Amino acid sequence: MMNESISENFTNGFLDNLLNCNRSACSDIAHSYLSSNHSVIQLYEDVFKVALYEVGKLWETNKISVATEHIATAITESILNELFEQIISNKRCYRKVVVACVEKEQHQVGIKMVADVFEMNGWETFFLGTGIPNNELIRYLHEIKPDLIAISLSVYFNFTNLLKMLDILQKEFPGLQIVIGGQAFNHVSADMTDRMGNVIVLTDLYILDKFIQTYNK
């Protein structure tokens, strides 16, 4: 198994090629990382997530353009799509999950990774991505009748929208299990999460994977 410094080289190489808009090199790095005895979750959490968080910081400090940030996100998402055949499990647990972003949230790569982790564990996943209004989400949940809903919040500015969304969901579906996560929770204190009611906050994909495996039992 690779030592930490070599693993960091993959992450740094992926980041450098994202910033240079080199999709082909990013794809090669991802496949090479997986062929080096790393799991898909390690790739997502330790390479993609770390690199994209750094891209976000560079954009926030005006060190890269919004165009570069958008291209980096698009490249990463295209590689997620490329890897899907390696992700979907032949074993199905016959559970359903709807995965979505908070209303007005514009970042969907994180929740797409969440959807993939559910797929790895045999769930039927309904990926809604960004931009779905709360009323349409409610209508869809009535139609699908999922076992669980997973929600992503990437931008802390949208925290009040999350609280509104949770309030609507809990009133409409009082028995529905809700899990949430995303980069914004780096700025959310424990007392703020207490306001969310019966909601589980999962801070990374490793914890999510363990949660799903326990849920499946």
CA distances 87 to 97, 157, 181, Å, are 16, 32, 21
Q: How far is CA 177 from the centre of its chain?
A: 18
Q: Is 48 exposed, middle or buried (0-12, 13-18, 19+ CB in 10 A)?
A: buried
pLDDT at 2 over 60: no
Q: Domain residue spans in the chain?
A: 4-87, 96-216
Average pLDDT of span 170-188: 89
* pLDDT for the residue 197: 74
* pLDDT for the residue 6: 62
The number of residues in the chain equals: 217
C-alpha to C-alpha distance for 9 and 17, rounded to whole angstroms: 12
Q: How confident is the model at residue 1 (pLDDT cuts 50, 70, 90)?
A: very low
Average pLDDT of span 72-93: 92
The pair phi, psi for residue 83, each rounded to 5°, is: -90, 0
pLDDT, tens only, 31-44:
999 999 899 999 99
30 Cβ neighbours under 8 A, 6+ residues apart? 14, 43, 47, 48, 79, 83
For 7, the token pair is 């693993």
Instruction: Report the topology of domain 4-87.
Output: 1.10.1240
Instruction: Report the topology of domain 96-216.
Output: Rossmann fold (3.40.50)
